[in-house]
Structure formats: structure tokens, C-alpha cells
Amino acid sequence: MAALRQPLNELLEEEKEAYQEALSKCSSDSQGDDDIQLNMRIRLVDGDTILADTDQEGSFLATYKRFEDYVIERFG
């Protein structure tokens, strides 16, 4: 119940600081050329058509790029 007694402005400031810290960490982590490791297979499909597959593309970012290209071609 103590958390409910915390002044709103104080809570908002704490949350803002935590958000900025996480944002800063994510920004610094993504500056390299390293691929994103999700330890899972991702398949993006439209009906029976496989649009992108991490097993075929070899990485998450390559799969993302192939799907992005599909969306731009189809809807762009």
C-alpha cells in the first residue's frame, strides 16, 4: 500500500528516469552491426506464401528487410 501513497509527481519522475535510462541503453546497444538474437524462428506468411523466414534469410535483420521490401512493393 505504500506505493499508493507515493506522490504522483515523484512517481512520474522516477518512471521518466527509468525510461530514459532504458532508452539510452537500447540506443547504445544498437549502434553496432550485430544482428538481433531472439533465439527463435520467425516466419512471416500470407496465406500459403512465405514472405520471410529467419531460417531461409539467415538472420532476423535480413528477414526484417525482406518483409519490409515486400510491404513497400505491395502497398507502397
Per-residue pLDDT of the chain (76 residues; tens, 9 = 90+): 777 899 999 999 999 998 888 778 766 555 555 677 888 999 999 999 999 999 999 999 999 999 999 999 999 8
User: Given this model, what pLDDT does residue 14 score?
Assistant: 93
- Whether 29 and 40 have beta carbons less than 8 Å apart is answered as no
Cell numbers describing residue 38: 531472439
Which grid coordinates are listed for 57?
534469410
Q: What pLDDT, on a 0 to 100 scale, did the predictor assign at position 54?
A: 94
* C-alpha separations of 39 from 1, 24, 76 in Å: 39, 24, 31
pLDDT of residue 23: 77
Hey, what's the cell of 1? Answer: 500500500
Whether the predicted model's global pTM rises above the 0.95 cut: no
